[in-house]
Amino acid sequence: MSNNKFESNKKYFTISIYTIIVVTICALIVKIIFSWEKTAQLLHLFFNALAPFLIGFLIAYILNPIVNLLDKKLCQKLLHISRPGIRIAISLFLAYLFAIGLVGVVVAFLIPQIVRNITDLANRVPEWINEITLFLMNLETYFPGIDIDSLTQSAEMYMLDLLDMKALTSWITSIIPQILLSTVSLVKAISTTLIAIIVSCYMLYDKKTLGLALHRFLYALLPEKTANHIIDTSKDCHRIFSSFISGQTLDSIIIGILCFIFMTILKLPYALLISVIVGVTNMIPYFGPFIGAVPGAFIILLIDPIQMLIYLLLILVLQQFDGLYLGPKILGNSTGLRPIWIIFAITIGGAVGGFIGMFLGVPCVAVIAFLTGRWIENRLQQKARTQSASKTDKQ
């Protein structure tokens, strides 16, 4: 009798605990919704404090495949180093040397070329202004009803307002605090980056120890079946994220290089600047090629409309090659998403996180879709087993 009473009390105690947890979560959600500004400020402070660790984790996540490759192919097979600590240290050093060298190449070769292209564009602005002015003056010949003198006077007044000394002095006075704030932000960004690099080094060097500690924590906190489920799900999420990010990055680099090669062969202007824009925007599925084509088309249009048509034809050919051959070859079906869900992910990601959100929105939605599909499949299997058992009992 006492055992039944104890079991009953234990059952009610469990129900009470779950009820308290659910009510607490609901209260927190209501509190967050009705005081969203304060919650947003707290979240902003929280993520600012964690920024070095989050960035460090991201750097470690990106460099981890390179470190693993160097460890297996170089340290183990070629150098025959048996001690794991020495292998990881050498692999880490070479991986960071590769990353720093890559950044150095970009800074030393690409950025000066891009700066020269932008400077050349800026130097052409007066020429384009003169052409626009001549076009406006010729409008009176074709359209006698247009009052060109009033348009010219309005433009002159606008320029005088822009050159007003009082307004200029006020603008300079207001911009000095912004320069100081920018300097402080730059120092903070540099310190955050240095701390993030140090954190990423520790994460990569101690990744096996950190992974083992996380496994022990999960198995200590949760039942074995639940812990195994979380670990398997994490591996699947990692597979989706890594395959999409690495594949999309490689695809965009190839498209950018091909764009530069063909623009150079066709003698189209600003080949490097436009190819970098095309390569970077190609990271965004579906919309990226269209976003990247617009700035290049506008720049070339100001120089030669015929060359702009050649450029647009080149972009069309490149995107057909990417969509029909290169993309499927590299990415395959890494996300498993229908086009409508990719568009949804890009739209929501762009609204939340801008360009980076548009890029990361797709793998995030792919992970959510994968987890939802697995949950639905498990639920259907449970229902099928229940129905099968009930039919067996009836027979």
Q: Residues 237, 366: contact at Cβ < 8 Å?
A: no
Structure tokens at 233: 């799900």
Taking phi first (over 0 means left), then psi (-120 to 50 degrees means alpha), and beta for anything else, what does residue 81 get?
beta
Taking phi first (over 0 means left), then psi (-120 to 50 degrees means alpha), and beta for anything else, what does residue 267 get?
left
C-beta atoms surrounding 342 within 10 Å: 19
Taking alpha carbons only, the member of 201, 234, 224 closest to residue 63 is 201
pLDDT of residue 328: 74
Q: Residues 363, 336: contact at Cβ < 8 Å?
A: no
32, with CB counted inside 10 A (0-12, 13-18, 19+), is middle
- Estimate the share of the chain in helix, then strand, then coil, as percent rounded to the nearest 5: 90, 0, 10
Q: Residues 215, 231: contact at Cβ < 8 Å?
A: yes
Taking phi first (over 0 means left), then psi (-120 to 50 degrees means alpha), and beta for anything else, what does residue 223 get?
beta
Each of the 395 residues of the chain gets a pLDDT tens digit; together they read 555 554 556 666 667 777 888 788 777 777 666 666 776 677 677 777 888 888 888 888 888 888 888 888 888 888 778 788 888 888 888 888 888 888 787 777 777 777 777 777 677 767 766 766 676 666 666 666 566 566 666 655 655 555 555 555 565 566 656 666 667 677 787 888 888 888 888 888 888 888 888 889 888 888 888 888 888 888 888 888 888 888 888 888 899 999 999 999 998 888 888 888 898 888 887 777 788 888 888 888 878 888 989 999 999 999 888 878 887 777 666 666 777 777 777 777 777 667 677 777 888 888 888 888 888 888 888 777 777 666 665 55
Domain ranges of the chain: 1-38, 51-130+154-221
**List of residues 6+ apart from 186 with CB closer than 8 A:** none
How much is the pTM? 0.66
Q: Residues 174, 37: contact at Cβ < 8 Å?
A: no
Q: What is the dihedral of CA 229, 231, 237, 242, to 10 degrees?
A: -160
Cα 234 to chain centroid, rounded: 20
pLDDT of residue 150: 66
Q: Note the pLDDT tens digit of each residue in 248-307.
A: 888 888 999 999 999 999 988 888 888 888 988 888 877 777 888 888 888 888 788 889
**Whole-angstrom Cα distance, residue 311 to residue 283?**
20
**Whole-angstrom Cα distance, residue 250 to residue 332?**
13
C-beta atoms surrounding 183 within 10 Å: 10
